[in-house]
Amino acid sequence: MTNEITYNIPASLAAAFRGRKVIVRSPDAAEIVASVTAEDLGNISYIKLLSLDGEMDSLKTWGPTIPVELAVTDPYRDLPLLYRYAPLLAGHPIRVSVPLVTGFGNVVKLAVSLNFAVKMEGGQPEESLADELQRIARFYLHQPMVSEPIEFFHSLFLAFFRRAPVTLWTIQEEDPSLVSYITDRGEETMPGRLAGVAVKEMFSTFVRELRDALAAEEGECAGCEFLMHCLGYFKWPCREYRCDAVKALMLTLRCAAEELRADIDSFQTRGGGART
């Protein structure tokens, strides 16, 4: 059985990818609305607005329930603009993607406050962000007002909790065997940070080969307790990247997941309900 590839396409190529599973992106909401026909809606995983500056009124009454991703590129500049999109929630689930750069924590916090889901992007966060990442992880784990997923924390936490072999490449939608990125010129490349590695033969095997290569080296990955979930995610593109901060982060999430498991097991032992 093979997984269906999802194509991350520019809105201008919507017609060319008709019938295939797509993520439609554009800086302009009106372009998406104009490019996508009613029969395309069923094949859209979500639409991605690459700029928060433009008008979004056209989305208010368009494609009800189609998820919308808002791409924050500059946390300081884009932070106040998130409020403009709150009315869209009446018709669409909303997720904010934010790069792991200075100021990302405020974006996460405001997005969650507005009931938006969050996806943090960027696999090699700078050392200076370590404290902020830990702070946001604690916010995700312990702040009662958090009711929407903050990725990659959320799926990783669930993977630890369920002891499921979910990988960061999949969580971050960067597994080339699942997602393909189509450039504005129509060229097919790998998704996310792998963009530019345009060797089609490698698509299905890239992640496995990267993991095997890293595991075979005498480096940080050899024997790493998180390799099952990471598969070298944090070692791309720079293999010399030190994982201390991200390992501490994963440990925080795993400890919380194990604590929850223990609590539920204890509850069940005392005659409570079944784990779901």
Place of tokens 């938006």: 116
Cβ closest to other proteins, residue 64 vs residue 165:
64
CB of 86 to other proteins, least distance (A): 5
Q: HEC profile for 127-152?
A: HHHHHHHHHHHHHHHHCCCCCCCEEC
Give me the least distance between CB of 160 and other proteins, in Å please: 24
Determine what percent of the chain falls in helix, strand and coil, rounding each to the nearest 5: 45, 15, 40
* CA distances for 170 relative to 68, 98, 189, 191, angstroms: 19, 17, 16, 11
d(CA 206, CA 187): 18
Which spans in 69-222 are helix H? 75-78, 104-113, 130-142, 153-162, 168-171, 206-216
* Tokens 């998704």, located at residue: 191
- Minimal distance, residue 93 CB to other proteins, in Å: 14
- CA gap 211, 183 in Å, rounded: 27
State the DSSP code for 3. P
Q: CB of residue 115 vs other proteins: minimum separation in angstroms?
A: 8
Nearer to other proteins, 11 or 79 (CB): 79
Nearer to other proteins, 82 or 137 (CB): 82
Report CA Rg, the chain. Answer: 19
Give the binding site for other proteins (CB under 8 A).
60-61, 79-84, 86-91, 106, 109-110, 112-115, 143-145, 147
Name the residue nearer to other proteins (CB basis): 80 or 196: 80
Q: Which is nearer to other proteins, 21 or 135 (CB)?
A: 135
Q: Is 4 helix (H, G, I), strand (E, B) or coil?
A: coil
Cβ closest to other proteins, residue 2 vs residue 65: 65
Query: What's the min distance (Å) between Cβ of 18 and other proteins?
Result: 26
Q: Which is nearer to other proteins, 5 or 110 (CB)?
A: 110
| Nearest distance from C-beta of residue 258 to other proteins, angstroms | 22
CB distance 142 to 206 below 8 Å: no
Question: What's the CA gap between 5 and 131, in Å, rounded?
Answer: 36
Q: How near is the Cβ of 85 to other proteins at its closest, in Å? A: 10
Check residue 233 and report its DSSP letter: G
Q: Based on CB atoms, which residue is closest to other proteins, 144 or 223?
A: 144
Q: How far is the CB of 25 from other proteins (least distance, A)?
A: 22
